[in-house]
Amino acid sequence: MKVGLLAIPLILLGVTQTGVAATQQGFKRFSVSAGWLHVMPQGKANSFNINTDVANGMRANVGMISGDTILNNIDQAKYDELEATDPYNMNNIIFNSVIKTKYLDEIIKMNLTGNETPEEYDAILQTITGDAQINGLEHWNSNAGLEADNIDTLGIVFDYYLNDNVSLQFIGGIPPKVDLKGKGAVYAPFSSVAYPFPILPTDPIYDPSVPPIEVYLKKDLLITDLEAYDNAASARAWTPALEAVYHFGKSGVNKFRPYIGAGIMYAHYSDIKINSGVENDLIAAGHMIQNIHDGYGGAALEKKLSSGNIVVDVDANDAIAPIVTAGFNYDLNDNWYATASVSYAKLNNVATIRVLNTNTGNELIHATTKIDIDPLITYVGVGYRF
């Protein structure tokens, strides 16, 4: 399983600059420096775009459910509206006399002996609890998101000088581990109209002109609280960069030589890992969706296990970003120099989270979020020319 949200992210191996040889005869073609690279992401968390395979308006059997569960998920605003317009509305009668007194639980107990076959058990439950029309889970945006944390690593920079003032610079280093902090909590905007105690056409009192009893449910269901965990995810970031750099001044004349550079950075992420707590929350959300497909809507609301084998897959796309740098070199002698720089890269990537049922191969939940890294990078090092 390839994990890593979330997100997930980044790193920049900064932009440093190497210099030219301080000799009267000319400049040296090659130089290499190594030093401390500090990355400070400037981007803010973006919302998650979430889809599930429960289409709006889908009808699903409710199955086993307790009166408390219904009560805890009641759309109270809807009932207040109904009561204001018609205090004797049948929905209010059901809400007050059936749900609040937990009569539903008693009816289920009275009709189940414990000796039923699975088919008989499901048929009795369906007769009592009916089905429900579900909305809100097909697609929504969550304000929760991910932000990259600060990073420190060893940067290594190699330069090839085209002339005394212009060099091509390749930037690498030790790929650091990038931590992704979670911001906010992810909720699913669940709503439903349930139809318990259906009167079937075979019932002697069946009257097609009488509308079925409707119970209105609505609640934001917590999927995961990202801020409850130290880090939501982490990844190993590989970020080589190539820049064209212009050095002011002249070799052998100016010990202090400022420079500017511009180029591109390529970002690839490996060893992506999601926090085990977040992963368990997403697995529970997958069971919720699968229970709806299994015809156990009540089990979905009560966060019970489903028939599925639920796994989580997290990935982050590769990215290319522009990068600009300003810095200076200071010659210590003909071969050795000190260097320092500050850089900025407009880097972002997309993290994709997929919750799958491996028993069926179905993707139950698909979520994406853009991670704006936009790092400010400082570099301090020592180099050698040859």
The neighbour count for residue 150, using CB atoms within 10 Å, is 11
Q: What is the pLDDT of residues 339-351, one digit of tens each?
A: 999 999 999 999 9
Q: What is the mean pLDDT of residues 307-313?
A: 97
**98 touches 130 (CB < 8 A):** no
| pTM for the whole structure | 0.84
pLDDT at position 23 is: 39
pLDDT at position 27 is: 80
Q: Which region among 20-24, 214-218, 293-297 has the lowest average model confidence (pLDDT)? A: 20-24
User: Domains of the chain: which residue ranges?
Assistant: 30-385
64 vs 291: CA distance, rounded Å: 11
Q: What is the pLDDT of residues 210-225, one digit of tens each?
A: 667 788 999 999 999 9
pLDDT at 274 over 90: yes
pLDDT at 135 over 90: yes
Q: How confident is the model at residue 200 (pLDDT cuts 50, 70, 90)?
A: low
pLDDT at position 102 is: 63
322 vs 263: CA distance, rounded Å: 6
CATH fold for domain 30-385: Porin (2.40.160)
Query: CB-based contacts of 202: which residues, under 8 Å, 6+ apart?
Result: none
6 vs 285: CA distance, rounded Å: 15
